[in-house]
Amino acid sequence: MGDEPAIQLLKVRQLNSSGSSFEGVQTSVPSKAVDLDLLSSSQLAAGKLKMTTQFHPPDGASLKDKVVVLTGGALGVGASLVRLLHSSGAHVFFGDILSEPGQALAGELSSSSSASKVQFVQCDVTSYADNVKIFKAAYEACGRVDHAIANAGLGEQGNFFDPELTMESVEEEPRKSIKVVDVNLKGELYFARIASVYLRQPDLNGKGATATADKSLTLVSSVAGFREDPGLYVYIASKHGVMGLMRALKGPLMRSQPHGIRTNAICPWMTRTRLVAGIEDTWHAAGLPSNTPEDVASVIVGVLAEGKVNGGAMYIEGGRAWNVEAGLLKTRHEWLGEKQEADLDRGTELMGGGSHWVDNKSSQV
């Protein structure tokens, strides 16, 4: 780009009606742009485009009277999410394997002056039947489900690739470590499958049953869903799997009838919960950003309330969020090549709905 003529670039922050925004750089000013300012002279001279996909979550006001189902709601991010949704006027049905804190939270919120329903359902997300129970509770109480959030997760259990493994010890099946896959990936697969059915059901009370109703499925992944972190072998594999699930569902579920279902992933970085016990002080001393559980809950609520984003992956650090999936897709031509990008898209189109994978009897076992 060194010999290309310099052009004046404007940094643009464009807002949509819901209050979320996309920040980027364009060569002209859109009709509804705000916060315009010229880039620095050095950036102009370099001729480089600067792009960020920061997501500015709206509050949860639009979620009043919406019916939300979620897992992992007893502690940490999940408990903050239950509180925030309830305070926004949503009816919340949440599950967790931890019965005592779950029941305590539901009891506390039920005793408030809010008219919003809240119910705890004990749930082991590795049990398909337990996942069904939460959705049934919501549907029977409210006649519909509007939003579903797969939040339950489990941190690394043991050292899967322990350098001390021997020819003898490696023969023992690592059941404890594989529990991470069961909770983080199998649990979300179960949850998403059930959600895809309940979210498309007509409202039993005759409300929100039109094609304009906003329905969404949110899958909680992690920063470990798109990058590496030392020692988290099984956790990283499971969270990458959640990202793959979001990508697989974002198209088909948006074609659901009578209304599309938005699918998004949440990818928090360091969040101050029990999962990071032992590293918080070192992290703070290094001056690195971290999230509170409330920070992450606010972004999740924003994704539900925004009503438009689909196929997003919200990386969260220091209470701020960026849609890294949007950035990845927007720059494919740069790191892959325009022809390869076009061929990939054409190949995906040729596969249609993907039914041939199941129809191919030679691949079914």
- In this predicted structure, what is the pLDDT of residue 270? 84
Same-domain pairing of 170 and 114: yes
**Residue 84 domain flag:** yes
Q: Cβ distance 60 to 86 under 8 Å?
A: no
In a domain, 355, yes or no: no
* The pLDDT of residue 271 is above 90: no
Question: How would residue 16 be classed by pLDDT, with cut points 50, 70 and 90?
Answer: very low
CA neighbor of 72 nearest in space, from 98, 110, 105: 98
Q: Is residue 360 part of a domain?
A: no
pTM score of the predicted model: 0.84
**Three-state SS for 24?**
strand
pLDDT in tens, 126-150: 999 999 999 999 999 999 999 999 9
Structure-token pair, residue 88: 């926004």
Return the pLDDT at 92: 98
| Long-range contact pairs involving 111-116 (C-beta distance under 8 Å, separation at least 24) | 112/86, 114/86, 114/87, 114/89, 115/89, 116/65, 116/86, 116/89, 116/90, 116/91, 116/92
User: Does 358 reside within a domain?
Assistant: no
Same domain, yes or no, for 46 and 97?
no
- pLDDT band for 365, please (50, 70, 90 cuts): confident
Q: 359 in a domain, yes or no?
A: no
* pLDDT score of 52: 80
pLDDT tens for residues 273-321?
Answer: 877 777 778 888 888 888 899 999 999 999 999 999 999 999 999 999 9
Q: What pLDDT score does 7 carry? A: 29
Do 92 and 35 lie in one domain? The reply is no
Question: Contact, 283 vs 270, CB < 8 A?
Answer: yes
- The CATH number assigned to the domain holding 92 equals 3.40.50.720
Number of domains the chain is built from: 2
pLDDT at residue 119 is higher than 50: yes
Q: What pLDDT is stored for residue 167 in this prediction?
A: 97
pLDDT at 251 over 90: yes
Same domain? For 22 and 141 the reply is: no
Report the side by side order of strands in the sheet with 33-38. Answer: 21-26, 10-15, 33-38
Question: How many residues are listed for the chain in this entry?
Answer: 365
Pairing of strands 118-122, 54-55: unpaired
DSSP secondary structure string for all residues of 89-125: T-EEEEEES-HHHHHHHHHHHHTSS----EEEEE--T
* Residue-number span of the structural domain to which 13 is assigned: 6-52
* Same domain as 115, residue 15: no
Residue 224 lies in a domain: yes
CA distances from 66 to 93, 184, 210 (A): 11, 26, 15
Q: Note the pLDDT of residue 320.
A: 94
Instruction: Give the CA distances from residue 162 to residues 168, 180, 202, in Å, rounded to whole numbers and listed in that order.
Output: 13, 16, 51
Mean pLDDT for the stretch of residues 99-115: 93
| Three-state secondary structure string covering 280-348 | HHHHHHCCCCCECHHHHHHHHHHHHHHCCCCCCEEEEECCEEEEHHHHHHHCHHHHCCHHHHHHHHHHH
Is 306 exposed, middle or buried, given 0-12, 13-18 or 19+ CB atoms closer than 10 A?
Answer: buried
Beta strands in the chain (DSSP E): 10-15, 21-26, 33-38, 54-55, 67-71, 91-96, 118-122, 147-150, 215-220, 261-268, 313-317, 320-323
- pLDDT tens for residues 150-179? 999 999 999 999 999 999 999 999 999 999
Do 14 and 32 form a contact (C-beta atoms < 8 A)?
yes
Q: Is the pLDDT of residue 3 over 50?
A: no
Output Rg (C-alpha) for the chain, integer angstroms: 22
Q: What percent of the chain has pLDDT over 90?
A: 66
* Residue 14 forms part of a structural domain: yes
Give the pLDDT score at 207.
56
Tokens standing for 196? 């895809």
The model's pLDDT over 179-197, given as tens digits with 9 standing for 90+, comes to: 999 999 999 999 999 999 9
pLDDT in tens, 211-234: 568 999 999 999 999 999 889 999
| pLDDT at residue number 65 | 95
Per residue in 331-364, pLDDT (tens digit) is 999 999 999 999 989 998 888 777 878 888 888 8
Same domain flag for 282 and 300? yes
Q: At what angle do helices 233-249 and 187-198 cross, to 10 degrees?
A: 20
Backbone angles phi, psi at 311, to 5 degrees: 75, 20
Beta bridge partners of 119: 93
Question: Is 278 a member of any domain?
Answer: yes
- Residue 19, pLDDT score: 36
Give which of 19, 98, 97 is closest to 301, Cα–Cα. Answer: 19
Tens-digit pLDDT profile for residues 19-59: 333 343 333 333 332 232 333 434 434 555 566 889 999 99
